[in-house]
Structure 1
């Protein structure tokens, strides 16, 4: 079995999806479950976690409805405004929905590198502890110092780092990112998705060997019990097809035991997202 812990659906809107720039023009179209289902069937993917791409409550409804209609969508990572006075009511509302597995905020788009440490945001995150929901951390690597301070504050909260925190793979930078990832990985409540790497590398010339040192750092930092496979489909399509992404993950997993491969590809996801 394989659980893909990171993919997106959207009905393309040039305003809502303005982050899709000219270099990414290939994904300026709709991507829906009927587009992904045959890909999963071809590659024997059991199911997925659908992750928000728009920061609205309407996005939650959109994804939850899709998850209700398609059995292979095993859960949703949505969005709420953690700085809002209504955050408790929003969290209580979604806590009644078993398919809502957690939340994230697009922190990578925030100009303030200490966004995660804002008092209002911290207050909102503190309310997650009674819901059982995961919080996913979407940042660039230069925002990792704030991530380290952030996770220290919530030792009982389940965190998942998206896209190995987007190191500068294209430029070949690794050392400072690696130091911070190892520090963050020392906290047992933090896991990491091995995902989103080919779009941080050179779109046209990346090779698996370019990515392997970064994946090995993640393995060292988090261990086989706290790593997860994710494709980042359809965003990955700007740099490669689904088979290429899956082959990178399989090449990495070649160094793992059979039991550890099962953890990476589905058992960790089953545990973290209570699938």
Structure 2
């Protein structure tokens, strides 16, 4: 069993994605049907949709669209990690609304696309603390140089589970191991942080990355967090930039060579089940 905790769907006729113009390879529709066909062949049995940084006015519509797709017969969709704007006054009311929707499992605000000081604002931090006691998670999508800001958020809300996306977004192509390594070691000391093994082929040489390029990043991430605090995600369709869904599943299996069945089960499904109550 594989639970994919990081799927993006792109429907340009329904939602606004201003950032797509800067990534031509992704500026096309990536639909549920396309993903599901390949996912079923790979043994993916449950899926969480990850927000795609849609236009602010489309945030609620994105969640509603994915929930509608989840109602199709034999759908694999089990919930969403919804977009949010903790830096805005309306977050408290937005949170109250989402708490009435069990389909919403957590939130994400991508922080490497906004000024560094956004996450340092008093309102942002106050609103992140509002997640305490809700059972909702908060994904951290940040660059290695922002790791101190991530640690500050994590320390403010010790009973909130934070998910560090994409192994902390290392610069694999630029040989950024040393700049990334110590930050991973440090943030992993926080018991309320989990790490997502996802997306890393997109940070290597897209045409020429190899298993050996990824190994040091995978190995240090697991050494720091352990298999009890690691979850798996595809980052589809971003993973298509570095080979695609089937390539990433096969690569993960290769990275896990020599690991026990118990360790593999924790990464691929067990930890996600526990964090979000998935089946």
Residue from 92, 95, 110 that aligns with 1:91: 95
User: Secondary structure of the equivalent of 1:130?
Assistant: coil
Question: What is the 5 A alignment of 1:162-201?
Answer: 162-201=165-204
Structure 2 gap segments, 5+ residues each: none
Question: Conserved in 1, the CA contact under 8 Å of 2:48 and 2:77?
Answer: yes
Shift of 1:108: 1.2
Q: Which runs of 5+ in 1 are unaligned?
A: none
Q: Is 2:243 aligned against 1:240? A: yes
Q: Which string of whole-angstrom CA distances, capped at 9 and with x for unpartnered residues, describes residues 27-60 of structure 1? A: 3221121111110121111121100102422222
Look up the match of 1:4.
Answer: 4
Asked if the contact 1:103–1:135 (Cα under 8 Å) also holds between the matched residues in 2, the reply is yes
How do 1:1-275 and structure 2 match up within 5 A? Answer: 1-12=1-12, 16-21=16-21, 24-53=23-52, 54=54, 55=56, 56-69=59-72, 71-110=75-114, 112-275=115-278
Aligned length: 273
More off after superposition, 222-231 vs 90-99: 90-99
How far apart, in 1, do the equivalents of 2:216 and 2:261 lie? 21
Alpha carbons 1:64, 1:100 under 8 Å: kept: no
How far apart are 1:164 and its partner, in Å?
1.2
Task: Tell me if the contact between 1:116 and 1:146 (Cα under 8 Å) persists in the aligned partners.
Answer: yes
- How far did 1:251 drift? 1.3
User: With structure 2 as the length reference, what TM-score do the two structures score?
Assistant: 0.92
Shift of 1:174: 0.9
8 A Cα contact 1:67 1:99, kept in partner: no
- 1:136 shift after superposition: 0.4
Measured against aligned partners, the alpha-carbon deviations of 1:253-273 in whole angstroms (never above 9, x if no partner) come to 223211111000000111111
CA contact under 8 A between 1:225 and 1:263: conserved in structure 2?
yes
CA distance in 1: counterparts of 2:177 and 2:21, whole angstroms: 26
Partner of 2:5, secondary structure, is strand
RMSD: 1.8
8 A contact 1:253–1:261 mirrored in 2: yes
Aligned-pair distance for 1:148? 1.6
Contact 2:85 2:91 in 1 (8 A): yes
Cα distance between partner residues in 2 of 1:201 and 1:83: 32
TM normalised by structure 1 equals 0.94
